[in-house]
Amino acid sequence: MIMEDENEIKVKELSPKETKVITAYWIWVLASFAVMIIFAFIGPLKWLCAPICGQLMAGLAIAFMVKDKKRKIGKILFYLLFVVVGLALLIIPILSKVIDFSLPQETVLWLALVIGFGVIIVPVITYFYSCKHYTEEVDAVVVDYISQSNSNGHTVRTPVYEFTYMGKTYRVNNSSFTNYGNPGLDQRVTLLIDPEDPEEFFDKKRGVSKIFGSFFIGAIFLVVAILGLVIVYFHPWG
């Protein structure tokens, strides 16, 4: 719904179908993590941790790839890497039950450790890559917000920037909705843009906020992986 007052926030309401999809998405993600943790403590079922992790990895990569409207080659390759690794983790353990092949139980834990480091490191690499790729600085002002309600009833938003480049005025926003690191309304910020396509831009301050958010998610992977490896190798409870 777009309000008449230009200072009002534009709110993008989710349709009932979108709400159901998002709800199902979070149930799937949380259930996958819960089942992996439970099975990790059950000897005969430990092998199922790998395929469960694999379907989660592949599914998340496909979901992010579908959601990403600007599918640049670098991101596509990144998503496809996770799809391939996820499918390998899904298929190989199942095949090992049919043919004479064994997959070490620790594989999924080491993979979770690698993913944790990756989730932390990749946004940092992306940040510095974007700083080099978007080479032109422009002074922009936050003129509006676009807000979106998620299935939990929380509202997240993304700022709309306005700037002038080569005599032409642009209004731009991206698809990154969050409540953290957003500049205030009418606040002036410095954006980095692509001179060949000024509508492609990068906000360094929001980029730093994404790094902190990714650090939190990556830390969860690391804690789970390290705890699992300690249990597997050192048997602290006998």
Residue 222 placed within a domain: no
pTM of the model: 0.57
Count of the separate structural domains present in the chain: 1
Residue 144 domain flag: yes
Residue 193, domain CATH: 2.40.50
Assigned domain for 43 exists: no
In a domain, 87, yes or no: no
Determine, yes or no, domain membership for 149: yes
d(CA 174, CA 109): 35
**pLDDT of 169:** 94
User: What pLDDT does 188 receive?
Assistant: 92
The span from the CA of 131 to the CA of 59, in Å, is 30
35 within 8 A of 52, measured Cβ to Cβ: yes
* Domain range for 160: 133-202
pLDDT at residue 5 in the model: 44
List, as one string, the DSSP characters of the chain. Answer: ---SSTTSPEEEPPPHHHHHHHHHHHHHHHHHHHHHHHHHTSGGGGGGHHHHHHHHHHHHHHHHHHH-SS--HHHHHHHHHHHHHHHHHHHHHHHHTTTT----TTHHHHHHHHHHHHHHHHHHHHHHHHHHH--EEEEEEEEEEEEEE-TTS-EEEEEEEEEEETTEEEEE--S--BSSSPPPTT-EEEEEEETTEEEEEE-HHHHHHHHHHHHHHHHHHHHHHHHHHHHHHH-TT-
Tell whether 160 is covered by a domain.
Answer: yes
Q: For residues 212 and 209, give the distance between their C-alpha atoms in angstroms, rounded to a whole number.
A: 5
pLDDT of residue 69: 63
Q: Give the residue among 164, 78, 162 at the shortest CA–CA distance from 118.
A: 78
pLDDT of residue 143: 93
- Domain membership of residue 158 (yes or no) is yes
Per-residue pLDDT of the chain (238 residues; tens, 9 = 90+): 333 344 444 445 556 776 777 788 888 888 988 888 888 888 788 888 888 888 988 888 888 777 766 656 556 766 787 788 788 888 887 887 777 665 566 776 787 788 788 778 878 888 888 888 888 999 999 999 888 775 556 778 888 999 999 999 999 988 777 777 788 889 999 999 989 889 888 888 888 877 887 788 788 878 888 888 887 777 665 5
Whether the CB-CB separation of 176 and 223 falls below 8 Å is answered with: no
Whether residue 163 lies inside any domain: the answer is yes
Residue with tokens 């954006």: 191
> What is residue 95's predicted lDDT score, i.e. its pLDDT?
80
